[in-house]
Structure 1
Amino acid sequence: MNHFSEIILLKNCFAHPRRVFAAIAIICAAMLAFGILYLQNVVGLDPCPMCIVQRYALIIVGVFSAFAAFSKKPGAWRLWGILAVIVSGLGAFTAARQSWLQWNPPEFATCGRDIYGMIESFPLQSAIPMIFKGSGDCSAIDWTFLGGTIANWSFVWFVIFAIVILVTLLRLPRK
């Protein structure tokens, strides 16, 4: 395939925003299935608080993308797309923070409370910073693929989703 045909292929892909949003929704669902059905249920990895935040972000990005895919108006694509980009940014932030904790583990690795215990026991304004401080299991590296941890790959995919959605939105016709 030559360079010219690759450019035509990319332009053709972004010419159909509903297909782009549907593809992102399907990828999100596949990633969730892999994480829950394989990593959690087969391998036996229990998600840490930051993993759960990333999981919820992935669910929300997938749902917003599905809403955009089912919408027929550019205004709805813009709304759902911008919301998906915001949530992708939050997911990427959480994944980046967890990756940093994995590269620089805390001196005293202790298993902290799970995310639900934090939210039940503390007010939300106290629980959220506790989640991002991380605990011993947030810095643990239990699984890798091609040299990257789950948090590394989450970061990469959240960034890809945000970029693809932004490019799609920027290519929409102006009013």
Structure 2
Amino acid sequence: MNKNWLEWIRLTPRLWFLLGFLGCAFLLSMGAYFQFVDGLEPCPLCISQRIAILLTGIVFLLAALHNPGVAGVKTYAILGALTALGGGAISTRHVWLQHLPPEDVPECGPGLEYIFNNFPLTETLKLMLNGTGDCAKVDWIFMGLSMPGWTLVAFLLLATLSLLQFWNAKPN
């Protein structure tokens, strides 16, 4: 009964990566629900966060399907953590914009469809990652956190899950 608490949750890295992928799929489905059922239009930073969730999910799915050895698990763990932390950085910017005083909020930009159709790719990426005044609007709050706040929590959990695979990886 004196086992370390981490021993109680030790599963194969393949299973943990699969659970991480399922978590990413759940997050993306929640974004789709809020957009298509509740009618919340995503801002540029919301779209950027969804892309980061998708990339993290792809890394986790590839890791689960590949079922690599120890070196591969560590490589996937680093890639998963990097994509999750990149998404966390976007979420942090989004939360920061939402907490700016109204006079400091950047101006609203053109709609995403217009941006994609009329701006070069580099300018589109810059607008998507910097956010606009639309990104400062808080449409949804649960337990005191806005949607970007919860997305930041999710990214930090995904990065932690990924990095825990260093401990979880066993030599064959």
Gaps of 5+ in 1: none
Question: Is 1:98–1:134's contact at 8 Å kept on the other side of the alignment?
Answer: yes
TM-score using structure 1 length: 0.84
55 and 105 in structure 1: CA distance in 2 versus 1, 3 angstrom threshold: farther
Alignment root-mean-square deviation, CA: 2.4
- The residue aligned with 1:71 is 66
Deviations 1:13-67 (A, max 9, x none): 3341111111111111111111102x11221101000000100111111111011
Task: Determine the structure 1 residue equivalent to 2:10.
Answer: 14
Structure 2 residue corresponding to 1:46, chosen from 34, 41, 56: 41
Map of 2:133 onto structure 1: 136
**Larger RCO (CA within 8 A; separation ≥ 6):** 2
Residues 13, 20 of structure 1: 8 Å contact kept: no
Alignment check: 8 A CA contact 1:71 1:77 kept: no
**Residue 70 of structure 1 aligns to which amino acid in structure 2?**
L
Q: Could you tell me which runs of 5 or more consecutive residues in structure 2 were left unpaired when the two chains were aligned.
A: none
Q: CA deviation at 1:105?
A: 4.9
Count of matched residue pairs: 170
SS state at 1:14 partner: coil
Distance 2:117 2:78 in 1: 31
CA distance in 2, matches of 1:56, 1:132: 11
Alignment match, 2:53: 58
Question: Given residue 152 of structure 1, which amino acid in structure 2 is its aligned partner?
Answer: G
TM-score, with length taken from structure 2 = 0.85
Moved more, 103-112 or 60-69: 103-112
Deviation at 1:148, TM superposition (A): 0.5
Q: Displaced runs of 4+ in structure 1, greater than 4 A?
A: none
Are the structure 2 counterparts of residues 172 and 116 from structure 1 closer, same or farther at C-alpha, using a change threshold of 3 Å? farther
Aligned partners of 2:168 and 2:48: how far apart in 1? 31
Structure 1 residues 73, 115: closer, same or farther in 2, change over 3 A? same
Q: Percent identity?
A: 30
SS in 1 for 2:9: helix
